């Protein structure tokens, strides 16, 4: 039965199926590709005889055959027609293109037709079914740290922040949900086919793909998006020898999913004919390591040709092979890929506060428990920052749950938690498994005992991790595992997990660490534990970063990645080494000495700590000295730090060494530091705060375009006392942050520049900002564009600006202050002593507000630049503006672009220009002027200004 909507408000009677087939005939002829399955079923159920089938098959083309089938079923009556539609509905994958049609007609099969069976005889459907089945199996669980405690993906998956980036890495907003990933939003190169997802370690790239695969396997991805889905891990592509070659068919079938029966030719043929129905996911592009130069390998484009798997991968990504298929590629932040192959770019930023709350609720079902965790999180923004990275959050929650189950008084880590302490907690939990689960709760927790008891086991894993770091490998054979003294029982602890893919026998023959950051942590542990390693040698990863060329850059240099100059800065390359360095700093910090002393002689610890500290101090000094400085007119000397400065800060924070922090603070000799586009996360703010604590002069800090969020602002609280420039544009900041800023900035009154463009500030925040304006006598620049400020907030701000004697530059682009807000700004403009630059663009201002602003201009001489772009001003405001121009003697630039002026308004304005002596530019593009009229206006004004 089909519902066919409403006509003129009255429900139409349902269409008969025969009639429906006539109405939608052309769509069906176009979309039904497989006739065999229909014929098989019609004949099996007795609606068609052999002769009918023969008649249909006599038609040469598929479309002709469909026409014939339609003719025949309609001639056989309603029941046959109904069954025909039912076949299309039930043989799901064979007619997947028709899903939107079924939705449109709100199809519901009748009870009688449901009794007639349908068999899907389409080979592609069978293969789809197998793929769906395998993906469903593969993606059910999130591999957790103890193999027996596997966790269901659907019970724990929580959305993370997915920011769309432009080609130039500018923010294009956020995706609302995962099923929008494949849509058009954020596409900047429609000819490219690869969606590139980047994010830091543990931010959830693999889990995001897993969720997508799982959704597809459950048919929850919009069906038209992908009929066939192949998932790969990039690491696999470089696991083969240089001379190894395979064909695309082998890659898909042997290394992914083999079609049952003798269907491989048919399925492969279908893939080649319909590449647009295929979706690939490739996880971890940064994990590709090739020991050979790909430049020497021939390029491959033919699907039949054999080539090295890496060549297949790069050709697939660039669209040279299987053109039209869609690809999703993930990589760590900083991995470069040529923009010509990127269709759109998504930057994963981890859990938002809301996501974190949801994830907490999924972990802790008991209400009391949940509240306890929430309270502890709320009290500790640094912990929240760490928890915004899902991997770290998972470790913290799992450890907390485990330790809480053993010791009633165990609490979440305190304010001084570092990443090293989080990983130590994880090790404590793993090693705790050595002694077996205790039935009774113990009274006091003693990590030292646990570590001492598990010292041998820990040393074994640390040795294995180190082995991997040295050979640049992340997968270990059983022999390698055994050679480090790791026993079968140790394997149950959770440090390692079996690598299950592409092992034809199904046996886990190889292993990898639970996460690569754990491998980094353990290899750092090995540097500390192993007494045969001399103090000087502990710096090997720092120095390795200094000289080693990152293998994936080598690979990519010849293929898809844009070539990146290889610097000699030890903080520049290879994140797993950077993490090892960071953990080394943490393990050798004084705060962990109490624990480490139980495992390593004190003298050895001290020597290693000394070496590390002096190396860090030297490094940071030379880094800061070498940075380019730019003198500015208004803000003194500016210096842009490099993204690797962040790794230094992180290392210094882990050491908790005031000495090194002091050296760093002293090295920042500029008046302003720029940390823009550094991928600075909220957790990094603790590190910055730690260093700035030792900086005694005033300092401007530009942190625009990072991932700081409210957690980060809270951690910077103490540093705001010395910040003259506070730039936090594009950082997901809400009113909570403004509360902190208002408190601190008003207390210290040193701020000159406040940049908060493109955040999530509402009128509540605007009210607090108004207080900052009123109370901070040096505030000159205020950038508040693209927030959520309405007329209410606009009025607070305007009133405060009116009173300010220092403010000269205000940006409000892209809020919604409307005419009421414009009126308040008009009041502020009257006789303002200082305000020279004002943008009220894109604020929904009509001529009502325009007239009030025009009137105010008659009483203003300070304003030089006035932007009213993208508003709704009409000719009604033109006369007032013209009058104002005749009187005003301050304005130099007036932008009225993208409003609703016509040629009349333009003429009125042009006629006023001879009376004005100060104006140098008036721009009216994008109004309702014809091309001719626009040219004329420009000519007239140019003449006037020349």
- Binding residues for ligand ATP, rule: CB under 6 A, are 142, 156-158, 160, 199, 201-207, 284, 332, 390-391, 394, 516
Cα(261)–Cα(520) distance, rounded to whole angstroms? 45
Give one DSSP letter per residue of 333-348, joined into a string.
Answer: TT----GGGEEEEEEE
By C-beta, is 516 or 873 nearer to ligand ATP?
516
Give one DSSP letter per residue of 691-730, joined into a string.
Answer: HHTT--S-EEEE--SSB-HHHHHHHTGGGGGGEEEEE--S
By C-beta, is 156 or 174 nearer to ligand ATP?
156
Cα(816)–Cα(591) distance, rounded to whole angstroms? 50
DSSP annotation of 15: B
Q: How far is the CB of 384 from ligand ATP (least distance, A)?
A: 16
Those residues whose C-beta lies under 8 Å from the C-beta of residue 614, and which sit 6 or more positions away, are none
Q: How far is the CB of 173 from ligand ATP (least distance, A)?
A: 20
Token output for 324: 């039209």
Closest by CA to 310, choosing from 372, 389, 235, 373, is: 235
Q: How far is the CB of 332 from ligand ATP (least distance, A)?
A: 5
Question: In 10 A of CB 137, how many CB atoms?
Answer: 10
Token output for 330: 């993930």
CB 205, CB 178: distance < 8 Å: no
CB 418, CB 652: distance < 8 Å: no
Q: How far is the CB of 398 from ligand ATP (least distance, A)?
A: 9
Cα(566)–Cα(198) distance, rounded to whole angstroms? 21
By C-beta, is 205 or 907 nearer to ligand ATP?
205
Q: How far is the CB of 711 from ligand ATP (least distance, A)?
A: 18
CB 630, CB 623: distance < 8 Å: no
Longest Cα pair distance anywhere in the chain, in angstroms? 95
By C-beta, is 390 or 823 nearer to ligand ATP?
390
Q: Which residues pair with 839 in a beta bridge?
A: 811, 867
Cα(323)–Cα(316) distance, rounded to whole angstroms? 8
Radius of gyration of the chain (CA): 33
By C-beta, is 153 or 848 nearer to ligand ATP?
153
Q: How far is the CB of 371 from ligand ATP (least distance, A)?
A: 21
Q: How far is the CB of 527 from ligand ATP (least distance, A)?
A: 21
Q: How far is the CB of 135 from ligand ATP (least distance, A)?
A: 16
Those residues whose C-beta lies under 8 Å from the C-beta of residue 702, and which sit 6 or more positions away, are 672, 673, 674, 675, 676, 725, 727, 755
Q: How far is the CB of 182 from ligand ATP (least distance, A)?
A: 18
By C-beta, is 142 or 641 nearer to ligand ATP?
142
Closest by CA to 643, choosing from 622, 619, 674, is: 674
For tokens 């090194």, name the residue: 660
By C-beta, is 205 or 326 nearer to ligand ATP?
205
Cα(518)–Cα(893) distance, rounded to whole angstroms? 58
Cα(573)–Cα(672) distance, rounded to whole angstroms? 26
Q: Decide the pairing of beta strands 162-165 and 342-348.
A: antiparallel
CB 204, CB 254: distance < 8 Å: no
By C-beta, is 620 or 646 nearer to ligand ATP?
646
Token output for 313: 């991968």
Q: How far is the CB of 644 from ligand ATP (least distance, A)?
A: 18
Q: How far is the CB of 730 from ligand ATP (least distance, A)?
A: 22
CB 477, CB 509: distance < 8 Å: yes
Closest by CA to 393, choosing from 59, 134, 158, is: 158
Q: How far is the CB of 750 from ligand ATP (least distance, A)?
A: 39
User: Would you call 134 exposed, middle or buried from its count of C-beta atoms within 10 A (0-12, 13-18, 19+)?
Assistant: middle
Q: How far is the CB of 654 from ligand ATP (least distance, A)?
A: 19
Q: Can you tell me whether residue 563 is helix, strand or coil?
A: coil
Q: How far is the CB of 569 from ligand ATP (least distance, A)?
A: 22
By C-beta, is 397 or 711 nearer to ligand ATP?
397
Closest by CA to 520, choosing from 565, 575, 442, is: 575
By C-beta, is 399 or 655 nearer to ligand ATP?
399
Cα(651)–Cα(691) distance, rounded to whole angstroms? 11
Cα(734)–Cα(736) distance, rounded to whole angstroms? 5
Write the secondary structure of 422-480 as one string of H (helix), E (strand) and C (coil).
HHHHHHHHHHHHHHCCCCCCCCCCCHHHHHHHCHHHHHHHHHHHHHHHHHCCCEEEHHH
By C-beta, is 30 or 149 nearer to ligand ATP?
149
Write out the H or E segment, with its range, that includes residue 923.
strand 921-923
Q: How far is the CB of 140 from ligand ATP (least distance, A)?
A: 14
Q: How far is the CB of 719 from ligand ATP (least distance, A)?
A: 29
Q: Return the sign of the alpha-carbon dihedral for residues 438, 444, 447, 452.
A: negative
By C-beta, is 204 or 353 nearer to ligand ATP?
204
Those residues whose C-beta lies under 8 Å from the C-beta of residue 10, and which sit 6 or more positions away, are none
Of all residues in the shown chain, the one whose CB is closest to ligand ATP is 204
Q: How far is the CB of 359 from ligand ATP (least distance, A)?
A: 6
By C-beta, is 281 or 781 nearer to ligand ATP?
281
CB 311, CB 297: distance < 8 Å: yes
- Please list the helix, strand and coil fractions of the chain in percent, rounded to the nearest 5, in that order: 50, 10, 35
For tokens 């190894």, name the residue: 244
Q: How far is the CB of 234 from ligand ATP (least distance, A)?
A: 10
Cα(713)–Cα(792) distance, rounded to whole angstroms? 25
């Amino acid at each position: 039965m089909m519902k066919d909507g409403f006509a003129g408000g009255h429900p139409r009677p349902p269409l008969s199926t025969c009639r429906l087939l006539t109405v939608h005939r052309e769509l069906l002829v176009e979309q039904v590709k497989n006739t065999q399955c229909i014929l098989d079923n019609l004949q099996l159920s007795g609606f068609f005889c052999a002769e009918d089938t023969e008649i249909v098959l006599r038609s040469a083309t598929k479309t002709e055959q469909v026409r014939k089938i339609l003719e025949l079923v309609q001639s056989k009556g309603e029941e046959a027609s109904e069954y025909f539609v039912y076949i299309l509905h039930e043989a799901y994958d064979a007619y997947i293109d028709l899903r939107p049609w079924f939705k449109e007609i709100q199809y519901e099969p009748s009870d009688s037709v449901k009794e007639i069976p349908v068999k899907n005889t389409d080979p592609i459907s069978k293969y789809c079914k197998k793929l769906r089945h395998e993906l469903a199996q593969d993606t059910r669980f999130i591999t957790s740290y103890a193999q027996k405690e596997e966790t269901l993906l659907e019970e724990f998956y929580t959305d993370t922040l997915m920011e769309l980036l432009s080609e130039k890495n500018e923010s294009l907003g956020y995706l609302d949900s995962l099923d929008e990933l494949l849509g058009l939003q954020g596409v900047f190169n429609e000819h490219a086919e690869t969606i590139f997802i980047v994010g830091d370690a543990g931010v959830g790239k693999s889990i995001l793909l897993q969720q997508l695969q799982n959704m597809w396997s459950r048919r929850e991805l919009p069906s038209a998006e992908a009929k066939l889905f192949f998932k790969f891990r990039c690491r696999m592509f470089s696991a083969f020898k240089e001379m190894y070659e395979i064909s695309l068919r082998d890659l898909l079938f042997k290394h992914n999913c083999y079609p049952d029966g003798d269907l491989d030719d048919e399925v492969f043929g279908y893939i080649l004919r319909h590449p647009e129905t295929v979706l690939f996911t490739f996880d971890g592009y940064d994990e590709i390591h090739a020991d050979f130069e790909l430049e020497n390998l021939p390029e491959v484009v033919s699907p039949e040709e054999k080539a090295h798997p890496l060549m297949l991968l790069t050709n697939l990504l660039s669209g040279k092979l299987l053109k039209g298929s869609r690809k999703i590629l993930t990589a760590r932040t900083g991995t470069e890929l040529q923009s010509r192959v990127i269709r759109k770019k998504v930057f994963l930023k981890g859990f938002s506060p809301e996501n974190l709350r949801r994830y907490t609720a999924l972990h802790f079902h008991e209400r009391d428990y949940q509240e306890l965790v929430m309270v502890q999180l709320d009290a500790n923004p640094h912990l929240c920052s760490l928890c915004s990275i899902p991997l770290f959050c998972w470790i913290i929650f799992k450890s907390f749950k485990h330790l809480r189950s053993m010791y009633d008084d165990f609490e979440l880590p305190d304010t001084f938690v570092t990443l090293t302490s989080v990983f130590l907690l994880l090790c404590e939990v793993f090693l705790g498994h050595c002694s077996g689960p205790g039935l009774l709760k113990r009274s006091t927790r003693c990590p030292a005992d646990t570590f001492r008891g598990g010292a041998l086991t820990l040393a074994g894993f640390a040795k294995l991790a180190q082995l991997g770091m040295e050979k640049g490998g992340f997968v270990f054979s059983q022999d390698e595992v055994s050679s480090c003294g790791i026993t079968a029982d140790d394997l149950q602890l959770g440090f390692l997990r079996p690598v299950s893919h592409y092992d034809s026998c199904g046996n886990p023959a190889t292993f990898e660490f639970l996460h690569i950051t754990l491998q980094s942590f353990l290899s750092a542990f090995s540097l500390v534990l192993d007494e045969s390693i001399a103090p000087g040698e502990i710096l090997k990863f720092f120095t390795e970063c200094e000289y080693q060329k990152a293998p994936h850059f080598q690979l990519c240099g010849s293929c898809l990645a844009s070539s990146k100059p290889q610097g000699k800065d030890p903080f520049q390359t290879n994140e797993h080494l950077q993490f090892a360095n960071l953990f080394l700093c943490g393990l050798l910090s004084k705060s962990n000495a109490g624990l480490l002393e139980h495992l390593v002689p004190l003298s050895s610890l001290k020597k290693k700590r000394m070496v590390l500290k002096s190396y860090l101090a030297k490094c940071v000094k030379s880094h800061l000295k070498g940075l380019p400085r730019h003198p500015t007119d208004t803000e003194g000397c500016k210096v842009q730090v490099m993204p690797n400065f962040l790794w230094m800060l992180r290392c210094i924070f882990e050491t908790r060494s005031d000495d090194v922090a002091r050296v760093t603070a002293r090295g920042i000799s500029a008046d302003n530091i720029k940390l823009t586009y550094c991928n600075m996360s909220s957790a990094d703010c603790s590190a910055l705060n730690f260093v700035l604590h030792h900086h005694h002069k005033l300092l401007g800090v530009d942190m625009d375009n990072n991932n700081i969020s409210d957690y980060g602002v809270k951690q910077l609280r103490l540093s705001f006392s010395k910040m003259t420039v506070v730039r936090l544009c594009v950082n997901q900041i809400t009113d909570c942050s403004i509360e902190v800023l208002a408190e601190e900035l008003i207390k210290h009154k040193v701020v000159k520049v406040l940049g908060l463009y493109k955040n999530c500030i509402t009128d509540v925040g605007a009210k607090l900002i108004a207080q900052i304006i009123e109370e901070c006598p040096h505030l000159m620049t205020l950038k508040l564009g693209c927030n959520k400020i309405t007329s209410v907030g606009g009025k607070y701000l305007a009133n405060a600006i009116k009173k300010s004697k220092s403010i000269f530059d205000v940006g409000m682009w892209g809020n919604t202050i409307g005419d009421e807000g414009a009126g308040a700004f008009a009041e502020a403009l009257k006789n303002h002593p200082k305000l020279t630059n004002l943008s009220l663009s894109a604020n929904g201002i009509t001529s009502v507000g325009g007239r009030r602003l025009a009137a105010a201009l008659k009483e203003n001489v300070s304003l030089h630049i006035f932007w009213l772009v993208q508003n709704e001003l009409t000719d009604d405001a033109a006369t007032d503006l013209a009058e104002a121009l005749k009187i005003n003697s301050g304005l130099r630039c007036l932008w009225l672009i993208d409003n609703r002026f016509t040629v009349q308004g333009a003429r009125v304005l042009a006629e006023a220009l001879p009376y004005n002596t100060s104006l140098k530019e008036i721009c009216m593009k994008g109004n309702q002027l014809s091309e001719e009229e626009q040219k004329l206006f420009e000519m007239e004004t140019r003449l006037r200004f020349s």
